[in-house]
Amino acid sequence: MKADQAIASPMSFTLTIAPAQVMRGAGILAQAGSAIARLGQRPLVIGGDHTLAVIQPFLQPALESLPTAQASYGVDCSEAGLASLRDAIAQHQADVIIGVGGGKALDAAKLVAYQSQLPIVTIPTSAATCAAWTALSNVYSDEGAFLYDVGLVRCPDLLLLDYDLIQTASQRTLVAGIGDALAKWYEASVSSGHSEQTLMIAAVQQARVLRDLLLQKAIAALQAPGGEVWREVVDASVLMAGMIGGLGGAQCRTVAAHAVHNGLTHLLQSHGTLHGEKVAYGILVQLRLEEMVQGNLLASTARQQLLKFYGEIGLPQTLQDLGLDQVTLAELRRSAEVACQAGSDIHRLPFEVTPEQLMAAMVSTTAPIPPRSLDSRTIAPLDPSPVPSSYTPKN
């Protein structure tokens, strides 16, 4: 039998681990012209309206010899926005896509490049997510509600991380990126912590290192933007977090924290908060579920540690912190139902979760640690009533 006729093993799988090339440094965009030109001669730069204006002085020196056009992705990576971008590609006869911006802009650029079979360059304008690295795009409705994600056949062909550009973003974006990156450990350790697969073990252990690095260096980084420690935390949030997801694959990537994020996007009131802020809150919800359903004392201890850390750097701890203090019970239930729907990442937890249990966890993320049971490793499971009496939402 020829090699190309071989039947794939049931255990075979494909990993999209890393971009083909990563260039990083202060002022690196001005030096990237030849790297971009190797991928194509007619670039289409995709981003938001504000970002396209901001990126111009940074990117212009690299593109001055190439016929370049720009296209706005809109507000969200949506089907309508993607259709408009495909028209822009055809009109410009683009042969390479350059995505600039935050997570949604980069997701749109990556996905439309994949659909058009064109090479893709990603340029993050903040450290708010690892989208510049990953072979994954999230698709949203025109109203900003998460619909589904698309796994891509490869990571970007070129990632350009310019610290000077990243530093123009607000500090809030880096705080959100820290929250998003922290989720790698809390989700991967639950979904894949007992795996015996070599690469999965490597991904989980790297996620632990990432968590420790962020807990140790985040405060110092935020106090000295542009400094050496700040750059290390930017690398952790954009590059290392993306690498962990690529090495571990989809199973290792997301669990309840991201499922909570996806559910929250269906509440219009949440659209003023960043992806990483919702995910950071989702970590607390996941840990709370582990306490409530499993009686897990380690999860309770981890939640208390994170609450302290969140308070120090400004990550949201409650629905109120996310601007959702006026959410109704019906809206909260809708969010929980989306997070628990079939195919949701929340089902990578080692136990079943109902919308009622998720609602209870969502409104009790700052609950004190309950008394320990006789077994010092666990606590007595909590009453999973849908809404604790301390929560008084809008009727």
Which pLDDT belongs to residue 383? 42
pLDDT above 70 for 248? yes
pLDDT mean over 155-178: 98
Cα radius of gyration (the chain): 21
CB contact set of 134 (below 8 Å; sequence gap of 6+): 16, 155, 242, 245, 246
- Please state the rounded mean pLDDT for residues 132-145: 97
- pLDDT of res. 220: 98
How many CA atoms, within 13 angstroms, populate the side-chain half-sphere of residue 88?
25
The pTM of this model reads: 0.91
Provide the Cα torsion 79, 49, 181, 200; round to 10°.
40
Q: Give CA–CA dist 65/44, Å, rounded.
A: 14
> Residue 72 — φ and ψ, nearest 5°?
-85, 135
Could you tell me the CA-to-CA distances from 133 to 19, 107, 247, 298 in Å, in that order? 6, 10, 12, 31
Q: What is the pLDDT of residue 11?
A: 56
Strands 43-47 and 69-72: parallel
Where is average pLDDT lowest: 96-100, 103-107, 140-144, 391-395?
391-395
Mean pLDDT for the stretch of residues 270-289: 97
Confidence of residue 303 (pLDDT cuts 50, 70, 90): very high
User: In this model, does residue 135 exceed pLDDT 90?
Assistant: yes
Separation of alpha carbons 100 and 46, rounded Å? 6
Q: What is the phi-psi region of residue 195: left when phi exceeds 0, alpha when psi lies from -120 to 50, beta otherwise?
A: beta
Beta carbons within 8 Å of 249's beta carbon, 6+ residues apart:
13, 15, 200, 203
